[in-house]
Amino acid sequence: MGGQLGAFYRSLLGDPVRSIGSGYWEFGLTGGLRLGIFRPQPEQMERFQGATGGLCLCLEVVNLDQAIALVSDRGATLAGPVRIASHGREIDAIDPAGNRLILYEPNELANSGIKNS
């Protein structure tokens, strides 16, 4: 996992548990889940351009102010001010490759409906 994008996600998620070349990485999550991050090869780019829907990676954080400092320090760009939403405080950020992230700090109301499995 190389380059600025790889360094950005390694700094947030730790070392990948699996990688294939320089374009696919899996990070271990709790409960046996894995988050895969994929960078298409140049010959695959047409397949991934012009999608009608956009995917946004949402990351729940304990302290939004600390998370903002962390991702900014790692190369993300903030895309607007902190917002107050029904579920807590949040902010949009753009990773080094231009992908949108939402960092959010949940409020008590948001946590009251969560069921742990």
pLDDT tens digits for range 44-91: 777 766 555 566 788 989 999 999 999 999 999 999 999 998 889 999
pLDDT (mean) for 92-113 = 83
- What span, in angstroms and rounded, lies between the C-alpha atoms of 38 and 21? 11
Domain ranges of the chain: 1-52, 54-117
pTM of the predicted protein model? 0.72
CATH dotted code for 54-117: 3.10.180.10
- pLDDT at res. 117: 47
Residue with tokens 């993300």: 76
What are the b/e assignments for 48-62, b being 16+ CB within 10 Å?
Answer: eeeeeeeeeeeebbe
- What span, in angstroms and rounded, lies between the C-alpha atoms of 53 and 33? 24
Question: Which CATH code of 3.30.70, 2.30.29, 3.30.720, 1.10.287 fits the domain covering 1-52?
Answer: 3.30.720
pLDDT (mean) for 90-111 = 87
Residue 64 forms beta bridges with which residues? none
